Structure 1
Amino acid sequence: MSTDKKLVSLTVPRLDPYFYIDKELRVILERMETLSKKHPINILVSGKQGCGKSSLVSQFGAVYNRPTAHFQIGILSEPGQLFGEQTLKNGETSYRPYLFPEALQTPGCVIHLEEINRPENPKALNMLYSILAEDREIWMDELGLIKVADNVVFFATMNEGEEYIGTEMLDPALRDRFYTVLMDYIPPEVEAEVMAQKAGITREQALEIVEIINKLRGHSQFPIDVSTRTSLMIAELVALGTTIRDAIVYSLQTTKEHLESILLTLHLENSNVESKASEYILFNRDIE
């Protein structure tokens, strides 16, 4: 059996000029970057759907000029599936490696294990244990000994909670290999700034959208989990001339009747949207 050699170009992500994170998290990520120069590290990012977990990984790669590769754990059903597959060509069996082994052996690579708690079969994660442990190596008959290169950073992201269908509790032995970062929605005034800059709407429009969205998130009877991703979708429709009401109706994943009843309730409420106490700053190449 032969092994096909197919080189894939790993690239550095594009920097997002309007990506905000908590100031404390910015400091921690800088320290993680420093620590990774001593040995590869693992960072688990947990939080609500659409709050920017995957974007954080890409921004980390962009800020520190690191090649970055994203891998969907949700499609895995058996161990070794990340590494490659057996193929048959002209009557000869060969092994075709995927991008994952190359990423492991690329110095300074950011490796994103996306939705790590959503594999089709939890046993599919078994081959990650030794890679994420102190040994940082694994033997495969098809590829030989694979050692994790210097300065590699592993990010795993996950939505955690009973409301996320198809997710599994992360094995404590696997979770123990990670530093943990918790993410939440960005504060209203920051979210409005991001909308205005990225979608090209006015700040007044952005503030109005954010006020409604945060009331939907915190509604006492029928709360709706509106992601930052969805709020940007709403802003983009508004930028094209759609009314804020219609943009919300067509962007949220709920029935129109249900949403209409909530919007009517919100119209009768006068509660203010409170800002969080945390300070948020741009995550870019400058350290404040």
Structure 2
Amino acid sequence: MLVDTLINIPYYHAVGKEMDVFKQAYKNKIPILLKGPTGTGKSRFIEYMAHQLDKKLITISCHEETSSTDLIGRFIIKGAETVWLDGPLTTAVKEGSILYLDEVAEARPDVIVAIHSLTDHRRELFIDKLGVTVKAHEDFMLVASFNPGYQRGFKELKPSTRQRFIAVSFDYPEPKIETEILINETEIDSDTAKKLVAIGNKIRNLTELGLTETVSTRLLVDAAKIIHSGLPKRLSVHVAIVEPLTDDLQTIQALKDLCDLMI
């Protein structure tokens, strides 16, 4: 987990009305769920909106071991006494920060239970180890992200949880916008950016390969960065786009051949 400081303005290119939706959700104190594949800009969008609202952003990258204790807090031994240490969720609730649960479906079920009372009219957090209930600060906002296509049927959010949020879907941007993103993020030349975007879209449409995840904008940005800094184009595409997608040798070779032709 990490706490983001709002020093540099994050670059974000809007593709719809997601900024307006976020601002209205914040104004009306409604939690928001960002749905979409990995690497489509969900985390960057939250960073950008936190900067726009001039709010502290606390990000928690959820995984199968993330528990409610990790979020709420725990007792620790300090010297000769036992003291309570607030977790990031409790800190955000008290301070009025934006709390971002990245890939919330990956967390343990007790995390979902812990945030339920924060996602309805109560806007409060019960700390069972202290026996106290904390009312959320006026500026507190809960944001979560979720990849519906990842391990479908295994890591799903229950309807009772999903319906506590308003939701915005994210997908890969259209080629023109994705090209602009690569240029702004990496200062790569326009021609190379267009070729990388074309490669990304070509692989995304190769459904017969059975890839668990396809080429994200993040992978394209990584490829653009190392090309811009001097690594040969073909090698950059191999290591930044092809290799992260699969371990199957035949699929890797097929993708490499395809990318070599396009780059």
Match of 2:144 in 1: 156
What secondary structure, in the 3-state scheme, does the structure 1 residue paired with 2:95 have? coil
Identity %: 21
Using the alignment, how far apart are the partners of 1:88 and 1:30 within structure 2? 41
Distance 1:266 1:26, change over 3 A: same
Q: Partner letter of residue 177 of structure 1?
A: R
| Deviation of the 1:215 alpha carbon | 0.5
C-alpha contact (below 8 Å) 1:217/1:223 kept by paired residues? no
1:3-152 → structure 2 map (5 Å cutoff): 11-12=5-6, 14-16=8-10, 18-33=11-26, 35-36=27-28, 40-74=29-63, 76-107=65-96, 109-119=97-107, 121-140=108-127, 141-142=129-130, 144-152=132-140
Q: Partner letter of residue 35 of structure 2?
A: S
Deviations 1:246-277, CA, capped at 9 Å, x for gaps: 111111313465233134356779xxxxxxxx
* Greater C-alpha Rg: 1
1:106-255 → structure 2 map (5 Å cutoff): 106-107=95-96, 109-119=97-107, 121-140=108-127, 141-142=129-130, 144-163=132-151, 168-222=155-209, 225-252=214-241, 253=244, 254-255=246-247
Distance 1:72 1:10, change over 3 A: closer
Using the alignment, how far apart are the partners of 2:90 and 2:48 within structure 1? 23
| Deviation of the 1:162 alpha carbon | 4.4
Among 241, 254, 263, the residue aligned to 1:261? 254
What secondary structure, in the 3-state scheme, does the structure 2 residue paired with 1:230 have? helix
**Farther off after superposition, 50-59 or 143-152:** 143-152
What secondary structure, in the 3-state scheme, does the structure 2 residue paired with 1:156 have? strand
What secondary structure, in the 3-state scheme, does the structure 1 residue paired with 2:104 have? coil
C-alpha contact (below 8 Å) 1:213/1:231 kept by paired residues? yes
**Farther off after superposition, 218-227 or 71-80:** 71-80
Unpaired segments ≥5 residues, structure 2? none
Please give the root-mean-square deviation of Cα atoms over the aligned residues, in Å.
Answer: 2.6
Using the alignment, how far apart are the partners of 1:9 and 1:204 within structure 2? 37
Q: Which has the higher helix share?
A: 2
Distance 1:24 1:163, change over 3 A: same
C-alpha contact (below 8 Å) 1:51/1:229 kept by paired residues? yes
| Deviation of the 1:240 alpha carbon | 2.0
Using the alignment, how far apart are the partners of 1:86 and 1:219 within structure 2? 51
Instruction: Give the alignment's TM-score, normalised by structure 1.
Output: 0.78
Using the alignment, how far apart are the partners of 2:260 and 2:80 within structure 1? 69
Instruction: Give the alignment's TM-score, normalised by structure 2.
Output: 0.85
C-alpha contact (below 8 Å) 1:21/1:186 kept by paired residues? no
What secondary structure, in the 3-state scheme, does the structure 1 residue paired with 2:70 have? coil
**Farther off after superposition, 141-150 or 205-214:** 141-150
Alignment length (residue pairs): 254
Deviations 1:93-148, CA, capped at 9 Å, x for gaps: 222222321211223x21111111001x3133211111112111133242732111
Q: Partner letter of residue 116 of structure 2?
A: Y
| Deviation of the 1:73 alpha carbon | 2.9
Q: Partner letter of residue 20 of structure 2?
A: V
Distance 1:11 1:146, change over 3 A: farther
Instruction: Select the structure with the greater relative contact order (CA < 8 A; seq sep ≥ 6).
Output: 1
